[in-house]
Amino acid sequence: MSLQELESAVRQLPADELAAFARWFEEYAADAWDRRIEEDIRAGRLDDLGRRVDADFEAGRCKPL
């Protein structure tokens, strides 16, 4: 199925099915994001960022949220 076909199918969904699809897709996208972050952590892609954050915290360059 092409992206255009998928977009067309989504546009044709009744409101209740569109809401269910939106909930499903939000969860799907969140899970995909989590998997990507976990992969980046395992691969060490965030190690440098973590060191910089730790250094900023230790140097007092952080603000309370």
Establish if 28 belongs to a structural domain.
yes
Residue 12 lies in a domain: yes
* Residues sharing a CB contact under 8 Å with residue 9, sequence separation 6 or more, in sequence order: 1
In a domain, 49, yes or no: yes
DSSP state of 64: -
Q: Domain for residue 25, yes or no?
A: yes
pTM given for the model: 0.69
Owning domain of residue 17? 3-58
pLDDT in tens, 3-49: 999 999 999 999 999 999 999 999 999 999 999 999 999 999 999 99
* Residue 49 burial (C-beta neighbours within 10 Å; 0-12, 13-18, 19+): exposed
The reply to whether 65 falls in a domain is: no
Binned at pLDDT 50, 70 and 90, residue 65 comes out as confident
Q: How many domains does the chain have?
A: 1
Domain presence at residue 63:
no
